[in-house]
């Protein structure tokens, strides 16, 4: 997961980045000038899930207001040096989503970021169910027909973005930006099509119905959606067959 990090104290940068990277986060350091740039670009689909972590400094509330004044919904988390109710209140009132106290632990930062992102997409629980698939928002691999489906890091990043937007059409460019937008070595966007094909095959092989669940909406993008009526009937047939087999075994 790509995130922006502003930490004004050089002595803290290395340890902070190491902690964040240890849980799979991909932090990119930004200077103070970042908050004076055109932040409206953060509103783009695929970019709006990038969290912004702001280290303790006198300008914290100014930076938060700069982000929110552009209409940006990105998760904003403040990293305070000490627990202080007044400072935390000011940051939250300015538009921050959360306040953490240093030293920051990667596993906690990841969980807080995931929690903010899933709620911003309208998901209150830790997971959603789409047909035979249970998709988790906490980094776990999905369950397909009750069994874990092992995904690579790239496959998981793409699937996570599709799951957040379940039953909605997502442009290929938005998926690309979410996965590769901050990478120094960016491949051609055709790579998304390749990973989508891999995901479809893995899901279809694992699903009792054989359904792929990821639909191509030509000219628009991809959609992670429920079974259609034909697949519902097929799944019902599988379930009936399994039930008969269980009774026979007795």
CATH topology of domain 127-249: Arc Repressor Mutant, subunit A (1.10.10)
Average pLDDT over residues 98-123: 92
**pLDDT band for position 136 (cuts 50, 70, 90):** very high
CATH code at 2-120:
3.40.50.2300
**pLDDT at 83 > cutoff 50:** yes
CA torsion through residues 150, 122, 98, 65, sign = positive
CA contacts within 13 A on the Cβ side of 100: 21
Tell me the C-alpha distance between 44 and 234, whole Å.
39
Nearest to 21 by CA among 141, 153, 142: 153
Q: Domain ranges in the chain?
A: 2-120, 127-249
Tell me the C-alpha distance between 136 and 144, whole Å.
12
Confirm whether pTM is higher than 0.85.
Answer: no
Average pLDDT, the chain: 87
**pLDDT at 233 > cutoff 90:** no
**pLDDT at 129 > cutoff 70:** yes
The whole-number pLDDT of residue 250 equals 44
Phi, psi of 29 (to 5 degrees): -70, 135
Tens of pLDDT, residue by residue over 159-207, are 999 999 999 999 998 898 888 866 656 677 889 999 999 999 999 999 9
CA torsion through residues 217, 222, 225, 228, sign = positive
Average pLDDT over residues 203-223: 93
């Amino acid at each position: 997961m790509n995130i922006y990090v502003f930490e004004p104290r050089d002595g803290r940068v290395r340890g902070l980045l190491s902690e964040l990277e240890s849980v799979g986060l991909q932090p990119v350091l930004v200077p103070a000038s970042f908050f004076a740039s055109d932040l409206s670009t953060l509103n783009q689909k695929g970019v709006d899930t990038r969290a912004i972590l702001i280290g303790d400094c006198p300008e914290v509330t100014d930076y938060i207001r700069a982000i929110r004044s552009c209409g940006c919904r990105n998760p904003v988390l403040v990293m305070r040096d000490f627990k202080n109710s007044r400072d935390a209140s000011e940051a939250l009132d300015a538009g921050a989503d959360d306040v953490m106290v240093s030293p920051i632990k990667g596993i906690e930062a990841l969980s807080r970021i995931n929690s903010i992102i899933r709620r911003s997409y309208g998901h209150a629980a830790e997971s959603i169910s789409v047909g035979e698939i249970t998709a988790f928002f906490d980094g776990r691999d999905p369950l397909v027909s009750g069994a874990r489906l092992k995904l690579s890091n790239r496959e998981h990043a793409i699937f996570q973005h599709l799951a957040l937007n379940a039953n909605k059409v997502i442009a290929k460019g938005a998926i690309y930006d979410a996965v590769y937008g901050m990478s120094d070595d960016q491949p051609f966007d055709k790579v998304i099509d390749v990973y989508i094909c891999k995901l479809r095959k893995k899901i279809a092989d694992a699903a009792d119905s054989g359904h792929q669940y990821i639909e191509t909406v030509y000219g628009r993008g991809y959609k992670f959606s429920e079974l259609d009526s034909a697949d519902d009937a097929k799944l019902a047939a599988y379930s009936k067959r399994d039930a008969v087999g269980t009774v026979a075994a007795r």
